[in-house]
Structure 1
């Protein structure tokens, strides 16, 4: 039979794995101070910490998206961004909306599909 502490550590480990799958690098050592608190406070603090890390990563990716888009004449629509391969909404100078990933926008010859059809 597992103790409550073992259950908590398994739950926290699952959350860490989810963050890693989303491209967020968080280690047990980075939450060591949080784990010194009582179990309920530790869990609450960890969840707030995980949300903070996700928000920071999303903000960093938003900045990257804006830089990449601006260089090619597109504006990203604000939304939570998890990684560079996730499709996000963009607008071209003509105001057309379309979806593409940051990576595709950066490394390919990005063209608005609506403007491309219009010009053909």
Structure 2
């Protein structure tokens, strides 16, 4: 099987709809997510991730965001600005060498951001 080529940057945009990715898909090095009032659900637990660090830039006015990470992945939310939004991460923030590290930046004005592993994941 040949390796899947990866794009460096992908931008996903919605006004008030739903952005959803799940199953086997290719995660770029930089993922830009733009949403006015929609829902974003990105399940990366089965995705192909070729980069050790994945940057996710958020520009969300209102809505919910759920990021499901592969087992062992880590996520840094320290670069997010959220005047009226809530964040909850159930994954470690400190990167390891065994799994991808996600760095989230940008703004979520209102709404909720959740970062977690797939259901059934056991904490170590």
Shorter-normalised TM-score: what interval?
under 0.3
1 or 2 for the larger relative contact order (CA 8 Å, sep ≥6)? 2
TM-score (normalised: structure 1): 0.20
The structure with more radius of gyration: 1
- TM-score (normalised: structure 2): 0.19
Is the helix fraction higher in 1 or 2? 1
Structure (1 or 2) with the greater strand fraction: 2
